[in-house]
Structure 1
Amino acid sequence: MRINDTIVALATPSGAGAIAVIRVSGPQAIEIVSGLFRAKSKKILSDQPTHTLHLGNIIDGERILDEVLVSVFHGPRSYTGENTIEISCHGSRYIQQEIIQLLVRKGCRSAEAGEFTLRAFLNGKMDLSQAEAVADLISSENQASHQIAMQQMRGGFSDEIQRLRQELLNFASLIELELDFAEEDVEFANRDQFRDLVSRIQQVLKRLIDSFATGNVIKQGIPVAIIGEPNVGKSTLLNALLNEERAIVSDIAGTTRDTIEDDIAIGGIGFRFIDTAGIRETQDVIEGLGIKKTFEKISQAQVVIFLLNAEMFKVQGSKFKVEIEKIKNQFPQKPLLIVVNKVDQILQEDLDIITASLTAAEASTAPGVVGQSNLIFISAKEGAGVEELQMKLLDFVNTGELRNNNTIVTNSRHYNSLLSALEEINKVQDGLNANLSGDLLAIDIREALYHFGLITGEVTNDELLGNIFANFCIGK
């Protein structure tokens, strides 16, 4: 890795805009930009103190490229820990490229993906889990994912791991010391205290591991499949949930031949709704392919909405109950919401009959097939009941940890390291229970410390860092 040269990149999205920010970092950053900048105040940029802002022109020889604002940051008091310059110029693509190309000609190198944050990590400005949270923060699209990324970037997760690692390291040092006095049979590490520590570490690790189920769906968005027979209002419901005409709505059965997907945030949580082709027997090859894809989407979904037409249910109720049972038996682990649509077109007494019929089905099928709590009546066309449906969807997400600002794991790399660390800690506990010698305990302790270190970056290699930072955007 080249970390001793000076790099440059566009820090704002590419394309035309009101302004653009060009970031320069490295030992020669201030010196290079100083030679290209003429301040309105006539001051020399390289003589200016850190964290100051200067108005002037970027010049190429005698040619003025743009009037800009230049921010000066002296290392180590900067994002990267190095001398850093940020040039705020007008957002013309031509101006952006002219300035960047000029900086490259004067000695800068075009930055690679994530290289500014990589330098921040290498220079001790943040640990590895915080650096990864920067990428999560940039990609956050709802309140929940933003909240988790902010907590991790500010060190909430890494602080917890560091505390555990340090306590374990202290005991490891005492056990290693015992090995130096093996002939004298001295015990420096109190075994009872060590058992208490191991037990506490196990509890914390299990809590963090369990949080990944919540964190992963929050980070990725919760896929919800809307299924049912043709012409029950699936596309109308999707449009009502999104509050826009996303799907084509028609009275012709089988209008949706493929899946349609879109995202929305409900209560700060991201949901991805999937409008599927209607499920029915058909001789139409294209429609048949759409129905096949419907079942693929059901298998991928976290929650399934089975949409019924209230008028159709009045006539064919037993048929629909069989279909609901089939879906539940085929996908027994998936939460199933029964949503009865077009309730504005039937009488209240019919609603009561439908409610009783669907609720009674629970007694003759596997527990949880359907119950009053998972039965919702709506009119997608009129928007009635849609808000209640949204609140019910939130019930399927464990937001308690989020509300309490607890640490939630969202990164699969961290999750795998936590699993490995717990496995080694369990071995340490087994060793303590079996009264194993210190040298054998030390082996498992070192392995646990290794996996803790992988999370925060005490243990790294070029391949690991390359894989992590390759997923960043250029300029960050």
Structure 2
Amino acid sequence: MYQLEPIAALATAPGIGAIAVVRVSGESAIDITNRIFYGKDLTRQASHTAHFGTLRNTDGSLIDEVVATVFRAPKSFTKEDVVEISCHGSEFIIQQLLRRLTAEGVRLARPGEFTQRAFLNGQFDLVQAEAVADLIASDSDASHRAALTQLRGGFSKQLKTLRQQLIDFVALVELELDFGEEDVEFAHREQLRQLMLDIRRVLHPLIESFSAGNAIKNGVPTVIVGKPNAGKSTLLNALLNEEKAIVSDIPGTTRDVIEDELFIDGLRFRLIDTAGLRQATDQIEAIGIERTQQKMRDAALVVYLFDGKNITPDELQSAIQEIRLSGKPYILVGNKLDALTDEKKQALENVAGEKVAWISAAQQTHLDELKAVLSSRVRTDTAVQTGSAVVTNARHYEHLTGTDDALARAISGLDASVTPDWLAMDLRVALRHLGELTGEITTDDLLDSIFSKFCIGK
């Protein structure tokens, strides 16, 4: 375990508050903090203890009353010596504290540098380190659970074990290359095949979870589509409980997409109101309809809203067929239930052949039932429902697919009885992807890119 030069940063959110915490980590962090802290001798205090004292200027004048908490290496977040100084949340006091620390030789930390040091000191792997940022940024129950799962090891620990087994086989294949003129086989081919199949069985659910994971992290893009005057803008306003979109009886009022967020049962939905689907009457409306179609292509979930009072069964059947052709998950929502006869409702349900969520957007009735349908439709995804490991990071997805592709080529090579050098080449690619995924293979540029996205102080 090694300790780098001491660094410091505000660990709590910037701005005026009751309490602020400044974190100091690195070589001599406790000794340096002790020079500006008036109270108990921090250098003689046990780890994980908090001590009241004062912070003073070089002339002895009082800056603030503070609490210093000592964490001795390696039992700290960074595995270095760490002191966390809790002071009053005045920006002036914080700046005075940081100025005193820098005067004693402490450097101001870069974004994510504390977490980067924790990774470099073996506190966790790179996937877990990235989960720290995801946990801080989580704004829903689902994204919070996904980040916690990754922080606790998620899929990375399992992949590290499988990678080590693959390394052992690659070593044997490489050894065969030293006996190229002799017909020897150190790596048992069937055992190697079984290991590669086992790894791919782990990879495939993770790769398939990326679509759901991306929705968990960034919100579920949910586009509301339908014909003009179906009540799309009224529904958006009712769900958000505010006048977000202009509502009018004039068809084609919505010319551009309108987006906002709604939280339902711990899931974040990015609701998108769109122009009505019909033959455009002018160039501007045509642009709006094209944007509607683009949003449908990008959406994770389509809400098809129809006017139950005025739509015919044939029109509904045609609309459902068109939605199905998009290949997107969808739900059917029948509007204007308050103006609908039982006979018309039954006729439309018979044509739909599936569950319809009936509402009255204008009267704001049955909206809770609609929210339950939206939540249920997303939670049918096993990863969301069970809280199992979910891939939410594009970098992870890239390395997982790269590993899978390389293993697929290696298995095909086994089937074709390729020479050990060709087999070793694909296995090396798989190992490189797995190593870069968990951080066992890194470059300074990669680490700088990842941790620069963290907030300062973390």
Q: Does the pair score TM above 0.5?
A: yes
Partner of 1:19: 19
1 CA distance for matches of 2:227 and 2:65?
62
Which of 414, 426, 436 is equivalent to 1:454?
Answer: 436
Tell me how far 1:475 sits from its aligned partner. 1.0
Please list the CA deviations of residues 396-422 of structure 1 after superposition, one character each: whole Å capped at 9, or x if unmatched: 454313433432212111111111111
Answer yes or no: is 1:380 the counterpart of 2:361. Answer: yes
Does residue 335 of structure 1 match 2:333?
A: no
What is the CA-CA distance between 1:280 and the residue it aligns to?
Answer: 5.6
1:19-73 superposed Cα distances (whole Å, 9 cap, x missing partner): 111111111321221111112xxx2112211111111111112222211111111
- Partner of 2:418, secondary structure, is coil
Q: Which residue of 2 aligns with 1:389?
A: 370
Note closer, same or farther for the CA distance 1:284–1:426 as it changes in structure 2 (3 Å cut).
closer
**Any conservation in 2 of the 1:54–1:70 contact (CA below 8 Å)?**
yes
User: Residue by residue, what CA displacement relative to the aligned partner does 1:289-322 show, whole Å, maximum 9, x if unpaired?
Assistant: 5555434433332222222233333xx7766766
Q: Aligned match of 1:136 in 125, 134, 137?
A: 134
The 5 Å alignment of 1:171-250 reads 171-180=169-178, 185-242=183-240, 244-248=241-245, 250=247
Aligned CA distance change for structure 1 residues 398 and 212 (closer, same or farther; 3 Å) = farther
> What is the distance in 1 between the residues matched to 2:230 and 2:203?
46
Quote the Cα distance in structure 1 between the aligned partners of 2:216 and 2:30. 41
Range with bigger deviation, 454-463 or 22-31: 22-31
Please give the alpha-carbon distance, in whole angstroms, between the structure 2 residues aligned to 1:7 and 1:90: 21
Aligned to 1:418: 400
Q: Counterparts of 1:428 and 1:99 in 2: how far apart (Å)?
A: 58
Partner of 2:453: 471
Q: Which residue of 337, 340, 349 maps to 1:346?
A: 340
Which stretch of the first structure deviates more once superposed, 178-187 or 16-25?
Answer: 178-187
Secondary structure of residue in 2 paired with 1:312? coil
Change (3 A) 1:63 1:381: farther
Number of aligned residue pairs: give it: 453
Q: Distance in 2 between matches of 1:327 and 1:109?
A: 61
Shift of 1:453: 0.3
The TM-score with structure 2 as length reference comes to 0.90
Which residue is equivalent to 2:91? 93
Normalization by structure 1: what TM-score?
0.87
1:425/1:350 Cα in 2 relative to 1: closer, same or farther (>3 Å)?
A: closer
The AA in structure 2 aligned to 1:376 is: A
CA distance in structure 1 between the aligned counterparts of 2:305 and 2:422, rounded to whole angstroms: 60
Matched-pair identity in %: 45
Give the superposition deviation at 1:445. Answer: 1.9
Moved more, 264-273 or 399-408: 399-408
5+ residue gaps, structure 1: 360-370
Deviation by residue 1:145-165 (Cα, 9 ceiling, x = unmatched): 111111111112111111110
* 1:57 partner SS: strand
- Deviation per CA, 1:138-186, whole angstroms, max 9, x where unpaired? 1111111111111111112111111110111122223334445556654
Does the 8 Å contact 1:214/1:398 carry over to 2?
no
Q: Kindly tell me: are residues 134 and 406 of structure 1, through their superposed partners in 2, closer, same or farther at Cα, counting changes over 3 Å?
A: same
Unaligned runs of 5+ in 2: none
Which secondary structure does the structure 2 equivalent of 1:189 belong to? coil
Question: Structure 2 residue aligned with 1:49, among 42, 46, 49?
Answer: 46
> Hey, what's the Cα distance between the residues in 2 that align with 1:318 and 1:399?
32
For 2:343, give the aligned amino acid: E
Supply the AA of the counterpart residue of 1:138: I
1:179-328 equivalences under 5 Å are 179-180=177-178, 185-242=183-240, 244-248=241-245, 250-253=247-250, 256-279=254-277, 290-313=288-311, 324=319, 328=323
Query: Cα RMSD (Å) of the superposition?
Result: 2.6
Is the contact made by 1:248 and 1:255 (CA closer than 8 Å) also made in structure 2? no
Asked whether the equivalents of residues 336 and 374 of structure 1 are also in contact (C-alpha less than 8 Å), the reply is no
> Match for 1:375: what amino acid?
V
Confirm or deny: 8 A CA contact 2:220 2:300 kept in the other structure: yes
1:355 is aligned to 349
Deviation at 1:10, TM superposition (A): 1.1
Q: Which moved more, 1:17-26 or 1:380-389?
A: 380-389
Contact 1:233/1:307, CA 8 A, preserved across alignment: yes
Letter in 1 for 2:360: S
Which whole-Å CA distance do the structure 2 matches of 1:437 and 1:397 have between them? 47
| 8 Å contact from structure 1 (residues 236, 247) kept in 2 | no
SS of the counterpart of 2:64?
strand
What amino acid sits opposite 1:270 in the alignment? R
In 1, the alpha carbon distance for the partners of 2:117 and 2:377 equals 42
